[in-house]
Structure 1
Protein backbone atom coordinates (compact mmCIF):
# COMPACT_ATOMS: atom_id res chain seq x y z
CA UNK A 1 0.00 0.00 0.00
CA UNK A 2 1.70 3.18 -1.23
CA UNK A 3 0.82 6.10 1.06
CA UNK A 4 3.91 8.17 0.21
CA UNK A 5 3.35 11.92 0.20
CA UNK A 6 5.76 14.60 -1.02
CA UNK A 7 7.81 16.30 1.71
CA UNK A 8 6.04 19.60 0.94
CA UNK A 9 2.63 18.14 1.88
CA UNK A 10 1.56 17.60 5.49
CA UNK A 11 -1.79 16.14 6.61
CA UNK A 12 -3.28 16.93 10.00
CA UNK A 13 -5.83 14.19 10.61
CA UNK A 14 -8.47 15.63 12.93
CA UNK A 15 -11.44 14.23 14.82
CA UNK A 16 -14.85 14.20 13.15
CA UNK A 17 -15.88 17.61 14.50
CA UNK A 18 -13.16 19.18 12.35
CA UNK A 19 -12.12 18.29 8.84
CA UNK A 20 -8.59 17.20 8.09
CA UNK A 21 -6.20 20.04 7.23
CA UNK A 22 -3.65 19.78 4.42
CA UNK A 23 -0.63 22.07 4.74
CA UNK A 24 1.72 22.80 1.83
CA UNK A 25 5.21 24.14 2.41
CA UNK A 26 6.70 24.98 -0.96
CA UNK A 27 9.98 26.67 -1.66
CA UNK A 28 8.35 30.07 -2.14
CA UNK A 29 4.85 29.70 -0.75
CA UNK A 30 2.75 28.05 1.94
CA UNK A 31 -0.92 27.09 1.81
CA UNK A 32 -3.59 25.31 3.84
CA UNK A 33 -6.59 23.41 2.48
CA UNK A 34 -9.58 23.42 4.88
CA UNK A 35 -9.47 24.82 8.40
CA UNK A 36 -11.73 22.72 10.64
CA UNK A 37 -14.61 23.73 12.92
CA UNK A 38 -14.73 27.08 14.72
CA UNK A 39 -14.43 25.66 18.26
CA UNK A 40 -11.22 23.90 17.16
CA UNK A 41 -9.78 27.00 15.45
CA UNK A 42 -7.14 27.64 18.15
CA UNK A 43 -5.95 24.05 17.77
CA UNK A 44 -5.86 24.42 13.99
CA UNK A 45 -3.77 27.57 14.35
CA UNK A 46 -1.41 25.83 16.77
CA UNK A 47 -0.90 22.90 14.37
CA UNK A 48 -0.23 25.22 11.45
CA UNK A 49 2.06 27.50 13.43
CA UNK A 50 4.17 24.60 14.70
CA UNK A 51 4.51 23.03 11.26
CA UNK A 52 5.40 26.32 9.59
CA UNK A 53 8.16 26.94 12.15
CA UNK A 54 8.18 30.70 11.77
CA UNK A 55 7.07 30.93 8.14
CA UNK A 56 3.86 32.83 7.39
CA UNK A 57 0.79 31.12 5.97
CA UNK A 58 0.42 32.59 2.49
CA UNK A 59 -2.79 31.01 1.22
CA UNK A 60 -5.95 29.36 2.48
CA UNK A 61 -8.27 27.29 0.26
CA UNK A 62 -11.53 25.46 0.94
CA UNK A 63 -12.85 22.33 -0.75
CA UNK A 64 -16.35 23.43 0.30
CA UNK A 65 -17.91 25.71 2.88
CA UNK A 66 -19.57 23.40 5.39
CA UNK A 67 -18.80 24.61 8.89
CA UNK A 68 -16.35 21.82 9.73
CA UNK A 69 -14.15 22.76 6.76
CA UNK A 70 -13.99 26.55 7.06
CA UNK A 71 -14.59 27.33 10.73
CA UNK A 72 -10.92 28.22 11.26
CA UNK A 73 -10.80 30.61 8.31
CA UNK A 74 -11.46 33.75 10.35
CA UNK A 75 -8.75 33.09 12.93
CA UNK A 76 -6.17 32.14 10.30
CA UNK A 77 -7.00 35.28 8.33
CA UNK A 78 -6.72 37.44 11.44
CA UNK A 79 -3.37 35.85 12.33
CA UNK A 80 -1.68 35.68 8.94
CA UNK A 81 -3.67 37.87 6.55
CA UNK A 82 -3.57 34.88 4.22
CA UNK A 83 -4.95 35.07 0.68
CA UNK A 84 -8.16 33.03 0.72
CA UNK A 85 -9.86 31.20 -2.17
CA UNK A 86 -13.32 29.63 -1.93
CA UNK A 87 -15.66 27.82 -4.36
CA UNK A 88 -16.90 30.41 -6.84
CA UNK A 89 -20.59 29.49 -6.59
CA UNK A 90 -20.59 30.31 -2.88
CA UNK A 91 -18.91 33.71 -3.24
CA UNK A 92 -22.10 35.81 -3.14
CA UNK A 93 -23.30 34.01 0.00
CA UNK A 94 -20.00 34.62 1.78
CA UNK A 95 -19.85 38.26 0.67
CA UNK A 96 -23.32 38.84 2.13
CA UNK A 97 -22.65 36.40 4.99
CA UNK A 98 -25.98 34.66 4.41
CA UNK A 99 -25.91 31.99 7.13
CA UNK A 100 -29.14 30.49 5.83
CA UNK A 101 -27.81 29.99 2.30
CA UNK A 102 -24.46 28.80 3.67
CA UNK A 103 -26.27 26.05 5.66
CA UNK A 104 -25.00 27.10 9.11
CA UNK A 105 -28.42 28.14 10.40
CA UNK A 106 -30.14 25.17 8.76
CA UNK A 107 -27.83 22.66 10.45
CA UNK A 108 -27.61 24.39 13.82
CA UNK A 109 -23.85 24.89 13.50
CA UNK A 110 -21.48 27.80 14.02
CA UNK A 111 -19.00 29.52 11.74
CA UNK A 112 -17.11 32.75 12.39
CA UNK A 113 -17.51 35.22 9.55
CA UNK A 114 -14.62 35.27 7.09
CA UNK A 115 -13.83 36.95 3.80
CA UNK A 116 -12.18 35.86 0.58
CA UNK A 117 -9.77 37.19 -2.03
CA UNK A 118 -10.35 34.82 -4.95
CA UNK A 119 -12.62 32.04 -6.14
CA UNK A 120 -12.01 28.51 -7.39
CA UNK A 121 -13.77 26.94 -10.36
CA UNK A 122 -13.60 23.50 -11.98
CA UNK A 123 -10.86 23.62 -14.61
CA UNK A 124 -8.63 25.97 -12.61
CA UNK A 125 -4.97 25.07 -12.11
CA UNK A 126 -3.13 25.61 -8.85
CA UNK A 127 0.43 25.33 -7.61
CA UNK A 128 0.56 24.00 -4.07
CA UNK A 129 3.73 22.71 -2.42
CA UNK A 130 5.69 23.07 -5.69
CA UNK A 131 3.20 20.72 -7.40
CA UNK A 132 0.55 21.32 -10.04
CA UNK A 133 -3.07 20.61 -9.10
CA UNK A 134 -6.32 20.60 -11.07
CA UNK A 135 -9.59 21.81 -9.59
CA UNK A 136 -12.53 19.50 -10.33
CA UNK A 137 -16.24 19.66 -9.49
CA UNK A 138 -17.54 17.26 -6.83
CA UNK A 139 -21.29 17.86 -6.42
CA UNK A 140 -23.41 15.60 -4.23
CA UNK A 141 -22.62 16.09 -0.55
CA UNK A 142 -22.42 19.80 -1.31
CA UNK A 143 -23.47 21.05 -4.76
CA UNK A 144 -20.47 23.39 -5.02
CA UNK A 145 -17.77 21.15 -3.54
CA UNK A 146 -14.41 20.77 -5.26
CA UNK A 147 -11.66 18.17 -5.63
CA UNK A 148 -7.94 18.97 -5.99
CA UNK A 149 -5.97 16.45 -8.07
CA UNK A 150 -2.21 16.25 -8.58
CA UNK A 151 -1.76 14.01 -11.60
CA UNK A 152 2.04 13.78 -11.40
CA UNK A 153 1.87 12.34 -7.87
CA UNK A 154 -1.49 10.60 -8.20
CA UNK A 155 -2.83 12.43 -5.12
CA UNK A 156 -6.48 13.41 -4.72
CA UNK A 157 -7.77 15.80 -2.05
CA UNK A 158 -11.36 14.61 -1.92
CA UNK A 159 -13.04 16.68 0.80
CA UNK A 160 -16.25 14.85 1.74
CA UNK A 161 -16.84 13.39 -1.73
CA UNK A 162 -15.02 10.17 -0.79
CA UNK A 163 -13.76 8.76 2.49
CA UNK A 164 -12.20 5.37 3.01
CA UNK A 165 -15.63 4.18 4.14
CA UNK A 166 -18.32 6.31 2.54
CA UNK A 167 -18.90 10.00 1.97
CA UNK A 168 -20.66 12.98 3.55
CA UNK A 169 -24.41 13.30 4.04
CA UNK A 170 -26.21 13.97 0.77
CA UNK A 171 -27.68 17.26 1.93
CA UNK A 172 -29.28 18.48 -1.32
CA UNK A 173 -31.77 15.58 -1.27
CA UNK A 174 -32.96 16.73 2.15
CA UNK A 175 -33.78 20.15 0.75
CA UNK A 176 -35.77 18.69 -2.15
CA UNK A 177 -32.92 19.07 -4.65
CA UNK A 178 -31.10 16.32 -6.59
CA UNK A 179 -28.05 14.78 -4.98
CA UNK A 180 -27.97 11.01 -5.47
CA UNK A 181 -27.11 11.18 -9.18
CA UNK A 182 -24.50 13.83 -8.47
CA UNK A 183 -22.77 11.64 -5.90
CA UNK A 184 -22.71 8.84 -8.47
CA UNK A 185 -21.18 11.09 -11.09
CA UNK A 186 -18.52 12.32 -8.65
CA UNK A 187 -17.61 8.75 -7.70
CA UNK A 188 -17.32 7.90 -11.41
CA UNK A 189 -15.01 10.89 -11.89
CA UNK A 190 -12.80 9.80 -9.00
CA UNK A 191 -12.63 6.27 -10.38
CA UNK A 192 -11.61 7.64 -13.79
CA UNK A 193 -8.76 9.63 -12.21
CA UNK A 194 -7.41 6.41 -10.64
CA UNK A 195 -5.53 8.26 -7.89
CA UNK A 196 -2.70 6.47 -6.13
CA UNK A 197 -3.67 7.96 -2.78
CA UNK A 198 -6.62 9.95 -1.41
CA UNK A 199 -6.51 12.58 1.32
CA UNK A 200 -10.12 12.68 2.55
CA UNK A 201 -11.92 15.37 4.47
CA UNK A 202 -12.25 13.02 7.43
CA UNK A 203 -10.41 9.88 8.45
CA UNK A 204 -7.02 8.52 7.43
CA UNK A 205 -5.20 8.93 4.14
CA UNK A 206 -5.80 5.78 2.08
CA UNK A 207 -4.55 4.03 -1.04
CA UNK A 208 -7.07 1.28 -1.89
CA UNK A 209 -9.13 3.74 -3.90
CA UNK A 210 -10.99 1.23 -6.08
CA UNK A 211 -12.23 -0.58 -2.98
CA UNK A 212 -13.26 2.70 -1.36
CA UNK A 213 -15.20 3.73 -4.45
CA UNK A 214 -16.93 0.33 -4.52
CA UNK A 215 -17.97 0.72 -0.87
CA UNK A 216 -19.19 4.25 -1.57
CA UNK A 217 -21.25 3.08 -4.54
CA UNK A 218 -22.84 0.37 -2.42
CA UNK A 219 -23.65 2.97 0.22
CA UNK A 220 -25.15 5.26 -2.41
CA UNK A 221 -27.31 2.42 -3.76
CA UNK A 222 -28.57 1.72 -0.23
CA UNK A 223 -29.43 5.36 0.48
CA UNK A 224 -30.96 6.15 -2.89
CA UNK A 225 -33.18 3.06 -2.82
CA UNK A 226 -35.18 4.68 0.00
CA UNK A 227 -34.75 8.42 0.64
CA UNK A 228 -35.92 7.90 4.23
CA UNK A 229 -32.56 6.21 4.87
CA UNK A 230 -30.70 9.33 3.78
CA UNK A 231 -32.92 11.43 6.03
CA UNK A 232 -32.34 9.15 9.01
CA UNK A 233 -28.61 9.20 8.39
CA UNK A 234 -28.64 13.01 8.33
CA UNK A 235 -30.45 13.23 11.66
CA UNK A 236 -27.95 10.85 13.27
CA UNK A 237 -24.99 12.77 11.84
CA UNK A 238 -26.32 16.17 12.94
CA UNK A 239 -27.04 14.91 16.46
CA UNK A 240 -23.59 13.33 16.66
CA UNK A 241 -22.06 16.61 15.49
CA UNK A 242 -23.83 18.47 18.31
CA UNK A 243 -22.59 15.84 20.73
CA UNK A 244 -19.02 16.16 19.50
CA UNK A 245 -19.24 19.92 19.98
CA UNK A 246 -20.91 19.93 23.42
CA UNK A 247 -19.76 16.54 24.78
CA UNK A 248 -23.04 16.01 26.71
CA UNK A 249 -26.71 16.73 25.98
CA UNK A 250 -29.62 16.53 28.42
CA UNK A 251 -32.05 13.86 27.25
CA UNK A 252 -35.11 15.82 28.31
CA UNK A 253 -34.05 18.74 26.16
CA UNK A 254 -33.31 16.76 23.00
CA UNK A 255 -36.76 17.00 21.34
CA UNK A 256 -36.63 20.79 21.57
CA UNK A 257 -32.98 20.96 20.58
CA UNK A 258 -33.53 18.89 17.44
CA UNK A 259 -36.71 20.75 16.50
CA UNK A 260 -34.75 24.01 16.62
CA UNK A 261 -32.50 22.78 13.80
CA UNK A 262 -34.41 23.75 10.63
CA UNK A 263 -33.05 20.93 8.48
CA UNK A 264 -33.92 18.28 11.08
CA UNK A 265 -37.41 19.72 11.49
CA UNK A 266 -37.94 19.70 7.73
CA UNK A 267 -36.80 16.08 7.51
CA UNK A 268 -39.00 15.09 10.45
CA UNK A 269 -42.17 16.52 8.94
CA UNK A 270 -41.52 15.85 5.25
CA UNK A 271 -39.88 12.42 5.29
CA UNK A 272 -39.96 10.71 8.66
CA UNK A 273 -43.50 11.38 9.93
CA UNK A 274 -42.42 11.26 13.59
CA UNK A 275 -43.29 13.46 16.53
CA UNK A 276 -40.47 15.48 18.06
CA UNK A 277 -40.30 13.07 21.00
CA UNK A 278 -40.30 10.04 18.71
CA UNK A 279 -37.50 11.44 16.56
CA UNK A 280 -35.35 12.29 19.57
CA UNK A 281 -35.88 8.81 21.03
CA UNK A 282 -35.08 7.14 17.74
CA UNK A 283 -31.92 9.21 17.16
CA UNK A 284 -30.60 8.55 20.67
CA UNK A 285 -31.23 4.82 20.32
CA UNK A 286 -29.50 4.80 16.92
CA UNK A 287 -26.36 6.48 18.25
CA UNK A 288 -26.22 4.23 21.32
CA UNK A 289 -26.73 1.14 19.15
CA UNK A 290 -23.87 2.26 16.92
CA UNK A 291 -21.70 2.85 20.01
CA UNK A 292 -21.37 6.49 19.02
CA UNK A 293 -22.90 7.66 22.32
CA UNK A 294 -23.92 6.42 25.74
CA UNK A 295 -26.53 7.40 28.33
CA UNK A 296 -25.71 8.24 31.93
CA UNK A 297 -27.33 10.46 34.54
CA UNK A 298 -30.07 11.66 32.21
CA UNK A 299 -27.59 12.78 29.60
CA UNK A 300 -26.45 11.62 26.20
CA UNK A 301 -22.67 11.47 26.33
CA UNK A 302 -20.11 11.37 23.56
CA UNK A 303 -17.84 8.33 23.35
Structure 2
Protein backbone atom coordinates (compact mmCIF):
# COMPACT_ATOMS: atom_id res chain seq x y z
CA UNK A 1 0.00 0.00 0.00
CA UNK A 2 1.42 3.45 -0.84
CA UNK A 3 2.27 5.78 2.01
CA UNK A 4 -0.18 8.57 2.80
CA UNK A 5 0.66 12.12 3.91
CA UNK A 6 1.12 12.86 7.60
CA UNK A 7 -2.22 13.24 9.29
CA UNK A 8 -4.05 11.04 6.75
CA UNK A 9 -5.13 7.70 8.21
CA UNK A 10 -7.06 5.09 6.24
CA UNK A 11 -9.35 2.69 8.07
CA UNK A 12 -9.67 -0.04 5.47
CA UNK A 13 -12.90 -1.85 6.20
CA UNK A 14 -14.59 -5.00 4.98
CA UNK A 15 -17.06 -4.88 2.12
CA UNK A 16 -20.10 -4.31 4.33
CA UNK A 17 -18.65 -0.97 5.41
CA UNK A 18 -16.91 1.50 3.15
CA UNK A 19 -13.43 2.67 4.01
CA UNK A 20 -13.12 5.64 6.36
CA UNK A 21 -10.44 8.30 5.92
CA UNK A 22 -9.40 10.30 8.98
CA UNK A 23 -7.82 13.69 8.26
CA UNK A 24 -5.97 15.57 11.01
CA UNK A 25 -3.36 18.33 11.04
CA UNK A 26 -0.06 17.10 12.56
CA UNK A 27 0.60 20.71 13.67
CA UNK A 28 -2.52 20.60 15.83
CA UNK A 29 -4.36 23.17 13.69
CA UNK A 30 -7.48 22.66 11.62
CA UNK A 31 -10.46 20.40 12.19
CA UNK A 32 -10.26 16.62 12.47
CA UNK A 33 -12.47 15.18 9.76
CA UNK A 34 -13.72 11.75 8.73
CA UNK A 35 -14.74 10.89 5.18
CA UNK A 36 -17.53 8.28 5.14
CA UNK A 37 -18.78 6.39 8.17
CA UNK A 38 -19.41 2.77 7.17
CA UNK A 39 -22.51 0.62 7.66
CA UNK A 40 -24.71 0.95 10.73
CA UNK A 41 -24.04 -2.55 12.08
CA UNK A 42 -20.32 -1.66 12.18
CA UNK A 43 -20.86 1.65 13.99
CA UNK A 44 -19.34 0.44 17.26
CA UNK A 45 -16.18 -0.56 15.40
CA UNK A 46 -16.09 2.81 13.63
CA UNK A 47 -16.28 4.60 16.98
CA UNK A 48 -13.57 2.39 18.46
CA UNK A 49 -11.23 3.08 15.52
CA UNK A 50 -11.76 6.81 15.95
CA UNK A 51 -11.28 6.70 19.72
CA UNK A 52 -7.97 4.94 19.26
CA UNK A 53 -6.76 7.24 16.47
CA UNK A 54 -7.87 10.50 18.07
CA UNK A 55 -6.82 9.58 21.60
CA UNK A 56 -10.02 10.97 23.06
CA UNK A 57 -9.94 14.22 21.08
CA UNK A 58 -13.20 15.17 19.36
CA UNK A 59 -14.08 14.59 15.73
CA UNK A 60 -15.01 17.96 14.23
CA UNK A 61 -16.27 17.17 10.75
CA UNK A 62 -17.92 14.30 8.89
CA UNK A 63 -18.22 14.19 5.11
CA UNK A 64 -19.91 11.67 2.84
CA UNK A 65 -18.81 11.00 -0.72
CA UNK A 66 -22.36 9.76 -1.35
CA UNK A 67 -25.29 8.51 0.67
CA UNK A 68 -25.38 4.77 0.08
CA UNK A 69 -25.89 2.91 3.33
CA UNK A 70 -22.35 1.51 3.50
CA UNK A 71 -20.90 5.04 3.33
CA UNK A 72 -23.21 6.90 5.71
CA UNK A 73 -24.77 4.23 7.94
CA UNK A 74 -22.53 5.30 10.82
CA UNK A 75 -23.50 8.98 10.58
CA UNK A 76 -26.16 8.80 13.29
CA UNK A 77 -23.83 7.07 15.78
CA UNK A 78 -21.08 9.62 15.14
CA UNK A 79 -23.50 12.52 15.57
CA UNK A 80 -24.62 11.04 18.87
CA UNK A 81 -21.04 10.55 20.10
CA UNK A 82 -19.86 14.00 18.97
CA UNK A 83 -22.71 16.50 19.53
CA UNK A 84 -20.79 19.38 17.91
CA UNK A 85 -19.98 17.35 14.79
CA UNK A 86 -20.46 19.23 11.51
CA UNK A 87 -21.79 16.93 8.78
CA UNK A 88 -21.50 17.73 5.06
CA UNK A 89 -23.22 15.74 2.30
CA UNK A 90 -23.43 16.03 -1.50
CA UNK A 91 -26.21 18.43 -2.51
CA UNK A 92 -28.37 16.20 -4.69
CA UNK A 93 -30.23 14.44 -1.88
CA UNK A 94 -30.42 17.18 0.71
CA UNK A 95 -34.22 17.33 0.62
CA UNK A 96 -34.49 13.56 0.82
CA UNK A 97 -32.38 13.62 3.99
CA UNK A 98 -34.48 16.44 5.47
CA UNK A 99 -37.66 14.46 4.77
CA UNK A 100 -35.95 11.12 5.42
CA UNK A 101 -37.29 9.62 2.21
CA UNK A 102 -36.00 6.02 2.40
CA UNK A 103 -37.08 5.36 -1.17
CA UNK A 104 -35.23 8.32 -2.67
CA UNK A 105 -32.20 7.56 -0.50
CA UNK A 106 -32.14 3.94 -1.82
CA UNK A 107 -32.45 2.25 1.59
CA UNK A 108 -35.91 0.82 0.95
CA UNK A 109 -35.22 -0.29 -2.67
CA UNK A 110 -32.00 -2.07 -1.65
CA UNK A 111 -33.44 -3.59 1.53
CA UNK A 112 -30.61 -2.03 3.54
CA UNK A 113 -30.52 -0.20 6.87
CA UNK A 114 -29.52 3.37 7.65
CA UNK A 115 -30.47 5.18 10.88
CA UNK A 116 -31.72 8.70 10.35
CA UNK A 117 -29.10 11.45 10.50
CA UNK A 118 -28.99 15.18 9.82
CA UNK A 119 -26.57 17.43 7.99
CA UNK A 120 -25.17 20.95 8.37
CA UNK A 121 -23.78 21.87 4.96
CA UNK A 122 -23.41 20.70 1.37
CA UNK A 123 -20.34 19.56 -0.54
CA UNK A 124 -20.87 21.68 -3.62
CA UNK A 125 -18.80 20.65 -6.65
CA UNK A 126 -16.32 23.40 -7.45
CA UNK A 127 -15.70 24.41 -3.84
CA UNK A 128 -12.58 23.84 -1.76
CA UNK A 129 -12.72 22.60 1.83
CA UNK A 130 -9.96 22.68 4.45
CA UNK A 131 -9.69 19.31 6.19
CA UNK A 132 -6.79 18.29 8.39
CA UNK A 133 -3.65 19.77 6.84
CA UNK A 134 -5.04 19.70 3.30
CA UNK A 135 -7.17 21.82 1.02
CA UNK A 136 -9.53 19.55 -0.88
CA UNK A 137 -11.33 20.19 -4.14
CA UNK A 138 -14.88 18.85 -4.46
CA UNK A 139 -15.75 17.31 -7.84
CA UNK A 140 -19.01 15.78 -9.04
CA UNK A 141 -18.65 12.09 -9.94
CA UNK A 142 -22.00 10.72 -11.14
CA UNK A 143 -22.40 7.18 -12.39
CA UNK A 144 -22.38 4.70 -9.52
CA UNK A 145 -24.54 7.26 -7.72
CA UNK A 146 -25.86 10.33 -9.54
CA UNK A 147 -25.08 12.60 -6.57
CA UNK A 148 -21.61 11.32 -5.64
CA UNK A 149 -18.56 13.55 -5.23
CA UNK A 150 -14.80 13.07 -5.23
CA UNK A 151 -12.33 14.84 -2.92
CA UNK A 152 -8.94 15.77 -4.40
CA UNK A 153 -5.95 17.35 -2.64
CA UNK A 154 -3.87 18.74 -5.53
CA UNK A 155 -0.62 19.42 -3.64
CA UNK A 156 -0.55 15.79 -2.49
CA UNK A 157 -2.20 14.49 -5.68
CA UNK A 158 -4.37 12.40 -3.39
CA UNK A 159 -7.87 11.40 -4.53
CA UNK A 160 -10.70 10.11 -2.34
CA UNK A 161 -12.68 8.28 -5.01
CA UNK A 162 -15.62 6.75 -3.16
CA UNK A 163 -17.07 4.09 -5.47
CA UNK A 164 -16.22 5.90 -8.73
CA UNK A 165 -12.93 3.98 -9.00
CA UNK A 166 -11.61 0.93 -7.20
CA UNK A 167 -8.35 -0.88 -7.86
CA UNK A 168 -10.35 -3.38 -9.89
CA UNK A 169 -13.44 -1.63 -11.20
CA UNK A 170 -16.13 0.54 -9.63
CA UNK A 171 -19.42 0.20 -7.80
CA UNK A 172 -22.74 -1.04 -9.17
CA UNK A 173 -24.25 1.62 -11.43
CA UNK A 174 -27.47 2.05 -9.46
CA UNK A 175 -29.32 4.38 -11.87
CA UNK A 176 -29.11 1.61 -14.48
CA UNK A 177 -31.08 -0.67 -12.13
CA UNK A 178 -33.90 1.87 -12.21
CA UNK A 179 -33.95 2.10 -16.00
CA UNK A 180 -31.94 5.32 -16.28
CA UNK A 181 -28.92 5.58 -18.56
CA UNK A 182 -25.78 6.12 -16.49
CA UNK A 183 -22.94 4.11 -18.05
CA UNK A 184 -21.83 7.24 -19.94
CA UNK A 185 -21.61 9.11 -16.61
CA UNK A 186 -19.37 6.36 -15.22
CA UNK A 187 -17.07 6.91 -18.20
CA UNK A 188 -17.14 10.69 -17.69
CA UNK A 189 -16.13 10.26 -14.04
CA UNK A 190 -13.24 8.01 -15.07
CA UNK A 191 -12.17 10.68 -17.57
CA UNK A 192 -12.29 13.29 -14.80
CA UNK A 193 -10.06 11.16 -12.60
CA UNK A 194 -7.60 10.80 -15.46
CA UNK A 195 -7.52 14.59 -15.92
CA UNK A 196 -6.92 15.16 -12.21
CA UNK A 197 -3.94 12.78 -12.51
CA UNK A 198 -3.81 11.60 -8.89
CA UNK A 199 -0.66 9.92 -7.69
CA UNK A 200 -2.60 7.94 -5.07
CA UNK A 201 -6.24 6.88 -4.89
CA UNK A 202 -8.13 6.01 -1.73
CA UNK A 203 -11.13 3.99 -2.95
CA UNK A 204 -14.38 3.38 -1.13
CA UNK A 205 -13.43 -0.29 -0.78
CA UNK A 206 -10.05 -2.00 -0.81
CA UNK A 207 -6.60 -0.61 -0.18
CA UNK A 208 -5.14 2.65 -1.41
CA UNK A 209 -3.22 2.31 -4.67
CA UNK A 210 -0.81 4.27 -6.84
CA UNK A 211 -0.98 2.34 -10.15
CA UNK A 212 -3.78 4.64 -11.24
CA UNK A 213 -3.36 4.28 -15.01
CA UNK A 214 -3.79 0.48 -15.03
CA UNK A 215 -6.74 0.80 -12.61
CA UNK A 216 -8.44 3.20 -15.02
CA UNK A 217 -7.81 0.79 -17.88
CA UNK A 218 -9.38 -2.07 -15.92
CA UNK A 219 -12.37 0.08 -15.01
CA UNK A 220 -12.91 1.11 -18.64
CA UNK A 221 -12.74 -2.50 -19.82
CA UNK A 222 -15.31 -3.44 -17.19
CA UNK A 223 -17.51 -0.55 -18.25
CA UNK A 224 -17.24 -1.55 -21.91
CA UNK A 225 -18.37 -5.06 -20.97
CA UNK A 226 -21.42 -3.73 -19.14
CA UNK A 227 -22.33 -1.39 -22.01
CA UNK A 228 -22.12 -4.29 -24.45
CA UNK A 229 -24.14 -6.61 -22.18
CA UNK A 230 -26.38 -4.75 -19.70
CA UNK A 231 -27.72 -8.06 -18.42
CA UNK A 232 -24.19 -8.85 -17.19
CA UNK A 233 -24.29 -5.70 -15.08
CA UNK A 234 -27.77 -6.57 -13.80
CA UNK A 235 -26.57 -10.03 -12.73
CA UNK A 236 -23.55 -8.51 -10.99
CA UNK A 237 -25.83 -6.05 -9.16
CA UNK A 238 -28.19 -8.79 -8.01
CA UNK A 239 -25.32 -10.84 -6.58
CA UNK A 240 -23.86 -7.78 -4.85
CA UNK A 241 -27.19 -6.96 -3.18
CA UNK A 242 -27.67 -10.56 -2.06
CA UNK A 243 -24.12 -10.84 -0.74
CA UNK A 244 -24.48 -7.50 1.06
CA UNK A 245 -27.52 -8.79 2.97
CA UNK A 246 -25.64 -11.96 3.86
CA UNK A 247 -22.71 -9.88 5.07
CA UNK A 248 -25.09 -7.88 7.23
CA UNK A 249 -26.85 -10.90 8.77
CA UNK A 250 -23.90 -13.35 8.65
CA UNK A 251 -26.32 -16.30 8.59
CA UNK A 252 -29.92 -16.80 7.48
CA UNK A 253 -32.19 -19.59 6.32
CA UNK A 254 -32.27 -19.91 2.54
CA UNK A 255 -36.05 -19.52 2.41
CA UNK A 256 -35.84 -16.38 4.54
CA UNK A 257 -33.17 -14.89 2.26
CA UNK A 258 -35.23 -15.63 -0.84
CA UNK A 259 -38.28 -14.10 0.85
CA UNK A 260 -36.23 -10.96 1.56
CA UNK A 261 -35.18 -10.82 -2.09
CA UNK A 262 -38.77 -11.29 -3.26
CA UNK A 263 -39.87 -8.29 -1.16
CA UNK A 264 -36.93 -6.04 -2.10
CA UNK A 265 -37.83 -3.56 -4.87
CA UNK A 266 -34.50 -3.64 -6.71
CA UNK A 267 -34.69 -7.44 -7.01
CA UNK A 268 -38.22 -7.17 -8.34
CA UNK A 269 -37.13 -4.60 -10.90
CA UNK A 270 -34.05 -6.57 -11.97
CA UNK A 271 -36.10 -9.73 -12.40
CA UNK A 272 -38.78 -8.01 -14.49
CA UNK A 273 -36.36 -6.05 -16.67
CA UNK A 274 -33.64 -8.65 -17.22
CA UNK A 275 -34.46 -12.13 -15.92
CA UNK A 276 -38.19 -12.78 -16.34
CA UNK A 277 -37.28 -15.41 -18.94
CA UNK A 278 -35.59 -17.51 -16.23
CA UNK A 279 -38.87 -18.22 -14.46
CA UNK A 280 -40.45 -16.92 -11.23
CA UNK A 281 -38.44 -14.61 -9.01
CA UNK A 282 -37.92 -17.32 -6.36
CA UNK A 283 -36.40 -19.67 -8.92
CA UNK A 284 -34.12 -16.88 -10.16
CA UNK A 285 -33.14 -16.07 -6.58
CA UNK A 286 -32.28 -19.70 -5.97
CA UNK A 287 -29.87 -19.64 -8.92
CA UNK A 288 -28.18 -16.56 -7.41
CA UNK A 289 -27.75 -18.41 -4.11
CA UNK A 290 -26.18 -21.33 -5.95
CA UNK A 291 -23.80 -18.92 -7.68
CA UNK A 292 -22.72 -17.53 -4.28
CA UNK A 293 -22.17 -21.06 -2.99
CA UNK A 294 -20.11 -22.07 -6.05
CA UNK A 295 -17.95 -18.96 -5.78
CA UNK A 296 -17.26 -19.56 -2.09
CA UNK A 297 -18.99 -16.31 -1.06
CA UNK A 298 -21.46 -18.35 1.01
CA UNK A 299 -21.70 -21.82 2.51
CA UNK A 300 -24.46 -24.09 3.79
CA UNK A 301 -24.30 -25.09 7.44
CA UNK A 302 -27.29 -27.25 8.18
CA UNK A 303 -30.40 -25.25 7.36
CA UNK A 304 -28.51 -21.96 7.21
CA UNK A 305 -26.67 -20.01 4.57
CA UNK A 306 -23.60 -18.42 6.16
CA UNK A 307 -21.32 -15.67 4.97
CA UNK A 308 -17.84 -16.62 3.81
Instruction: Assess same fold via TM > 0.5.
Output: yes
Instruction: State how far apart, in whole Å, the 2-side matches of 1:197 and 1:291 are.
Output: 31
> How far is the alpha carbon of 1:77 from its aligned partner?
0.6
**Match runs of 1:84-163 below 5 Å:** 84-163=87-166
In 2: Cα distance, 1:75 partner to 1:281 partner: 35
User: Does the CA-based 8 Å contact 1:158-1:200 persist in structure 2?
Assistant: yes
1:253 shift after superposition: 2.7
Cα offset, 1:7, TM superposition: 1.3
Partner Cα distance (2:163, 2:202) in 1? 10
Calculate the TM-score normalised by the size of structure 1. Answer: 0.97
Greater mean alpha carbon deviation, residues 287-296 or residues 73-82: 287-296
Q: CA RMSD in A?
A: 1.1
How far apart in 2 are the matches of 1:249 and 1:54?
38
1:227 deviates by 1.2
**Aligned positions, number:** 302
In the alignment, which of 283, 287, 303 is matched to residue 282 of structure 1? Answer: 287
Runs of 5+ unmatched residues, structure 1: none
Secondary structure at 2:285's aligned position in 1? helix
SS in 2 for 1:176: coil
Q: Which runs of 5+ in 2 are unaligned?
A: none
1:172 alignment counterpart: 175
Q: What is the aligned partner in structure 1 of residue 215 from structure 2?
A: 212
Is this contact kept in 1: 2:30–2:130, CA < 8 A? no
Q: Distance in 1 between matches of 2:182 and 2:291?
A: 24
1:111 deviates by 0.3
> Matched residues in 2 for 1:146 and 1:114: separation?
19
The SS at the match of 1:181 is helix
Higher deviation after alignment, 140-149 or 290-299: 290-299
CA contact (8 A) 1:252 1:298 kept: no
Structure 2 CA distance, aligned partners of 1:144 and 1:238?
Answer: 20
The counterpart of 1:193, out of the listed 191, 196, 206, is 196
Residue of structure 1 equivalent to 2:8: 9
Superposed structure 1 runs of 4+ greater than 6 Å apart: none
